[in-house]
């Protein structure tokens, strides 16, 4: 059975921070696509996607992150993704080289600071 994922949003200065919990998969990716973009305010410098509590990510979830990075670049904004060391999500995002399109950090604080730099 597919675990029902959750997301929480907060703002740190000019950076939106969305924390995704549960599975980031094909079932969830379509709805998340527009939701994540809608979280960005006009005054924001970028978006942090915190995957610390994500338990699984599939190819649709990976595609979502790459597409989100592309859409943010079009708006001259930055994307940072929080991925703690170890676990399936970390391995998947390392294999697909997420660092080629987004900042990747171990903590939300580091990710927010990177967007401000």
Q: What is the pLDDT of residue 16?
A: 95
Domain boundaries, the chain: 6-116
The answer to whether the beta carbons of residues 45 and 15 sit under 8 Å apart is yes
What per-residue confidence (pLDDT) applies to 112? 97
Q: What one-character-per-residue DSSP string does 29-72 give?
A: HHHHHHHHHHT--TT--EEEEEEEEEEEE-HHHHHHHHHHHHHH
pLDDT number for residue 96: 97
Q: Find, among 43, 50, 42, the residue nearest to 9 by Cα.
A: 50
Question: Does the CA dihedral 91-64-15-103 come out positive or negative?
Answer: positive
Classify the phi-psi angles of 13: left when phi > 0, otherwise alpha if psi is within -120 to 50, otherwise beta: left
Total residues belonging to the chain: 117
Average pLDDT value for the chain = 91
Q: Inform me whether the pLDDT recorded for 5 exceeds 50.
A: no
For the stretch 32-83, pLDDT in tens is 988 998 888 989 999 999 999 999 999 999 999 999 999 999 999 999 999 9
CATH number of the 6-116 domain = 3.30.750.24
Q: Rounded to the nearest 10 degrees, how much is the dihedral formed by the CA atoms of 21, 29, 57, 54?
A: -10
Residue 13 has pLDDT above 80, yes or no: yes
């Amino acid at each position: 059975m597919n675990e029902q994922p959750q997301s929480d949003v907060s703002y740190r200065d000019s950076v939106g921070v969305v924390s995704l919990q549960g599975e980031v998969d094909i079932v969830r990716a379509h709805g998340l696509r527009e939701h994540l973009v809608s979280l960005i305010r006009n005054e924001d410098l970028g978006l942090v996607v915190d995957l610390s509590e994500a338990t699984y990510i599939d190819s649709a979830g990976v595609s979502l992150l790459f597409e989100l990075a592309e859409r943010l670049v079009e708006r001259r904004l930055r994307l940072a993704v929080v991925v703690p060391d170890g676990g399936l999500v970390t391995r998947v995002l390392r294999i697909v080289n997420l660092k080629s399109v987004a900042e990747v950090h171990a903590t939300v604080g580091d990710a927010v600071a990177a967007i401000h730099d």
